[in-house]
Amino acid sequence: MIDCNEAVRQLWEYVESELNALERKRVEDHLTLCRRCCGEMEFAEELRQFMAGQTAVDLPPAIGARFDRLLEDLATEGT
């Protein structure tokens, strides 16, 4: 079974259906047991849907920097 760190690291690829069958199964097995990572997955799916519905717009620098920090925090959480 993978840990939270690995699950979060693979989360975006999972949401985008870019994982192979074994990796996808490992993430799904983890999600069945981890409520926190399920919340992270829901956030990723909602963000993906939101971004898909937006037109290309330049973010203000402060918002872009905040978004980048959020993604970094998600990727490094649990290390």
Inform me whether the pLDDT recorded for 23 exceeds 90. Answer: yes
pTM summary value: 0.64
CA 37 vs CA 17, 32, 53, 59: distances in Å: 17, 9, 24, 27
- Total domain count for the chain? 1
8 Å CB contact between 30 and 37: yes
Structural domain boundaries, residue 63? 4-76
Average pLDDT over residues 10-15: 90
Instruction: Give me the torsion for CA of 8, 10, 15, 16, rounded to 10°.
Output: 150
Q: Model confidence over 30-78: pLDDT tens digits? A: 999 999 999 999 988 888 888 887 777 777 888 888 888 888 887 776 5
As a whole number of angstroms, the distance between CA 38 and CA 22 comes to 19
What single-letter amino acid sits at 3? D
pLDDT of res. 53: 79
